[in-house]
Amino acid sequence: MKRLKDALLLSEQGYKDLKKAIGACTLTNLSMMLPFCVTVMIFRELLEGITEGSTDTSAIWKLWIFGIVSAVAVFLCAKNDYRKTYIASYKESNKTRERLAEHLCGMPMSFFNTRDLTEITSNMMSDCSAMESMLSSTIPPLIADIISSAVMCVMLAFFDIRLALCVFITIPLAFIIIIASKSKQKKLFRSQNDIKLEASARIQEYLEGVKIIKACGVSGKRHEALDRTLRALKDMSVKTELAIGVFISGASMILQSGIGITIFAGCALLLSGKVELLTLLMFLLMATRIYGPILAVLGQLSTLMHLDVVTDRMRSLMIADEMGGTEKTDGGNIEVIDARFGYNDEEVIHGVSFKVEKESVTALVGPSGSGKSTMSKLIARFWDVNGGCIRFGGKDIKNISPSSLMEHMSFVFQDVTLFNDTIFNNIKMGRESASDEEVYAAAKAAFCDEFVSKLPHGYETVIGENGGTLSGGERQRISIARALLKDAEIIILDEATASLDPENELFVQQAIARLVENKTVIMIAHRLRTVADADNIIVFDGGRIAEQGTHRQLMEKGGIYRRMYELQMNAS
C-alpha cells in the first residue's frame, strides 16, 4: 500500500482516505451477498414445500423482512462507499492541484522556459482528473473486488470446494492476461499522450495566431498542419482503444467462462448425486455476483495501466527544485557583483557589476537584445545568476526567501498581465489585506477613475481574459494601481509606456510619477528622453556594461548613449 501511495503522489490524508475507501468498497461488496443469501433461502423453503406438500409461510415472511433489512444495509453501505471514494477522491484531487500550483509559484522562470505550458496545463487538469478517476472508480473497487472475491470463494469452499475452484479459477487467469499486456498498453498510452500534447499545442497556436493567419491568408496551410496532427491523434486513439479492447475482451471472456465451467462441473456432480440442486443454484447465483463487479472494473483497467504515464509527468513537476532561500530582508541598496547568466548553454550577461542606491533612479538602456531586461529580471530573482552574485541590503538574494524579496518589489511591465476578474480584484492583488478605501485610493492615484466611471458596473466590471475588453493604456493604469497599492520600496519599470498613444502615455506617465515618489526605481527604456533625469544611466551592449553615468556625463563622453540619443532626437 505504501508503494501505491508513492505511485499516486498521495498526501498522508489521501493515503488514509484510500484505505478507508477500499474498506468501504469491500464492505459494500460483502453486503451485496445478503440479498443473494435471502433468495437462496427462499428457494430452499419453496422447494421443501413442494417436496413435503406444505410451505412454512412464517419462515418465508421472516425471510422477506430480512430481505428488506438487507436492502437497507446495502443502501447504507453504498452511501458510505460513495462518501469514502468519490467525495474523498475529489478532495484529494483538489489538494494535488493546489500543491502543484503552490510548487509552481516557487519555481524559477528558467523552469518555464524549458517546459511547454500546454504540458503543465495538462498536468494540472487532465492528469489530476485521471488520478481522481483512479482513486474513485478504479483502485478501491479493484482491490475491494479481489478481497471480497477471495472471501466469498473461501466461504463457498465450505459448501463444496470443487465448485468453489470452478468459480475462482478463471479470476487469476483473467488478471494474468491484463498484467502480461501492461508493457504494450503503457507504450501505446505514451504515444497517445505525446500526440495529445502536440495536438493541444497546435490548437493553442492556431487560436492565438488566428488574426495573423487571416491577415496573411495562410489559413489553408495552417489548417493542414492542424488537421494532420488531429488525424494522427484520431489514428493513435483508434489503435490504442482497439489494442486495449482486445486485451480487456479476452480477459472478460475467460473470466465469464467460469460460469460455464461451474455449470458443466455442477451438472456432472448433480447427476452423480454428489451435490444438491440448491447448492448448485447458490453457486451459480454467487458466481454472477462475484464476476459482475470484476467485469465492471476490467473495463477501467486501461486507466490504471495509464497510471505510470500520468504520475511520471506529475512527479517530474513535484520533484523539480524550487528557488531556495530562507532569510528575511529589511531592504537597502542593490549591488550586482560580476553577474553572469545564460539561457541554457548560451551566456547573455557577461560579468556585469553596478550598484543601485536606495531611493535613487537607475535607468538600464541599450539596443534590443543587449541584456537590460534580463538584468532587471535577475535583480527580481525571476532567474538566479549562474556566476557572481546580487546583493540586496547586504545579503545574497539567493539566500533570501522569494516571498520576502517580493515584499520589497513592485513591477510595471510593458506586457501587462490581468486576470478574468473584476477591476477591483485585479487591483487588490497588489495587497490582499488592503481595505476597499485603499484600493479605490490607489485606483484614483493611477487615473483609473477616468475610464472606470464609463463602464457599466464600475470597479465590479469583469474585464475578460487578460483584460481583453480594455485598451493598452487602461490595462497599464490598472497595473500601476496594483503597484501603488502594494507600496513596495523598489519599483521596476520595463518599457511601461513604449506602446501607448500620446493621450494614454500622458496618463500613465503621471501615474508613474506618483508611483515612484521616494522609491528605489529601476527602469528599462528605449526612449532615452524619458531617462534624462535618472541618477544613474547604465548602457548595456552585448550583455556587458558599455558605459554608465548621468545623462550629462554620457553625452559629454560621446559614446553609445550619445549616438543613440541623437539618432532618436533626429528621428523625432
Beta strands 490-494 and 520-524: pairing type? parallel
Nearest CA to 492 among 519, 518, 471?
Answer: 519
Q: Which CATH superfamily is domain 2-318 in?
A: ABC transporter type 1, transmembrane domain (1.20.1560.10)
Three-class DSSP category at 411: strand
Q: Is 44 exposed, middle or buried (0-12, 13-18, 19+ CB in 10 A)?
A: middle
pLDDT mean for each 10 residues of the chain (572 residues): 69 82 85 79 73 72 84 88 83 81 76 70 74 78 80 81 85 82 78 80 74 62 74 84 82 85 85 80 77 73 67 74 79 90 84 90 87 87 88 89 85 81 89 89 85 86 79 83 87 71 69 81 83 88 90 89 86 70
Is there a common fold for 2-318 and 334-571? no
**AA letter at 123:** N
CA distance 81 to 126: 25
The domain segmentation of the chain, as residue ranges, is 2-318, 334-571
Model pLDDT, residue 497? 62
**Under CATH, which architecture does the 334-571 domain have?**
3-Layer(aba) Sandwich (3.40)
Q: How far is CA 202 from the centre of its chain?
A: 20
Q: What is the pTM of this model?
A: 0.65
Q: 208-216, long-range: CB within 8 Å, 24+ apart, which pairs? A: none
CA distance 414 to 381: 18
DSSP 327-360: B------EEEEEEEEEETTEEEEEEEEEEE-TT-
Model pLDDT, residue 324? 75
Three-class DSSP category at 421: coil
CA distance 252 to 447: 69
